A and B are shown apart, each in its own frame.
Chain A
Amino acid sequence: AQSVAQPEDQVNVAEGNPLTVKCTYSVSGNPYLFWYVQYPNRGLQFLLKYITGDNLVKGSYGFEAEFNKSQTSFHLKKPSALVSDSALYFCAGGSGGYQKVTFGTGTKLQVIP
């Protein structure tokens, strides 16, 4: 069975500092991986995805993620955090055609002014 793990329940970072939100995956075959963000009382919003190609994927709002096949990781990064980046972040992954995408448990990002 496929799984996605987000080892940190919460990440705190000072405004202006770089941020990293961690994600590891376990899927059979070639994975496709996603990051979504959820603001309070809102649905999930797509940030970026890895399907194939370059290991460094760039997405919305200055976020990027690095796919590392040997470490089965897909960490979300941003060079300079903003207070408005404070939200709940979900990693998701799957493989194959119709196979469902599995979501991680989420990481709460708190950017401190």
Chain B
Amino acid sequence: EAGVAQSPRYKIIEKRQSVAFWCNPISGHATLYWYQQILGQGPKLLIQFQNNGVVDDSQLPKDRFSAERLKGVDSTLKIQPAKLEDSAVYLCASRNGAGGRNEQFFGPGTRLTVL
């Protein structure tokens, strides 16, 4: 079974530029998450999708971050414009089923550096 795929793996941009990350979840997984992991901290949920609908985006900085999951499969996360404090690893995860009791499967992450 193929795992969660993310690209790019690394990205370096200047502040105020825009950037996009892509995630392809495990086939058949209806739930998809985007997390922000700042160095030395645990993953912080940015947005949770159930199929192509948003379940939770309460911690997504909506003035600069946006995410979509067209057709309930792949997802993209965009930052526009980026700030220095956005430097972090962005993790995508997917989960089988609708309940929170199932474990999440994580991709390798995208390491973003904002200069």
Contacts and interface: CB of A to CB of B under 8 A. Distances in A.
Contact of B50 (A43, A90, A98, A103): A98
A112 interface: no
A44 B106 contact: yes
B43 A44 contact: yes
Interface of A: 32, 34, 36, 41-46, 49, 51, 90, 92, 94-106
Taking residues whose C-beta sits less than 8 angstroms from the other chain, chain B's interface range is: 20 to 34
User: Which are the 7 A-B pairs with shortest beta-carbon distances?
Assistant: A43-B106, A103-B42, A46-B103, A44-B106, A32-B101, A105-B42, A103-B43
Contacts of A104: 42
A100 B48 contact: yes
Interface of B: 4, 40-45, 48, 50, 55-56, 91, 93, 98-101, 103-109
A101 B19 CA distance: 27
A22 B43 CA distance: 18
Contacts of A101: 45, 100, 104
Given A98-B50, A100-B48, A46 B104 contact: yes
B57 to A, nearest CB: 11
Contacts of A43: 4, 91, 93, 106-109
Contact of A51 (B50, B56, B101, B108): B101
B24 to A, nearest CB: 13
B100 A97 contact: yes
23 contacts: A34-B103, A41-B108, A43-B93, A44-B106, A45-B106, A46-B103, A46-B105, A49-B103, A90-B42, A95-B100, A96-B100, A97-B98, A97-B99, A98-B55, A98-B98, A98-B99, A99-B100, A100-B45, A100-B48, A100-B56, A101-B104, A103-B42, A103-B43
Contacts of A99: 100
A18 to B, nearest CB: 25
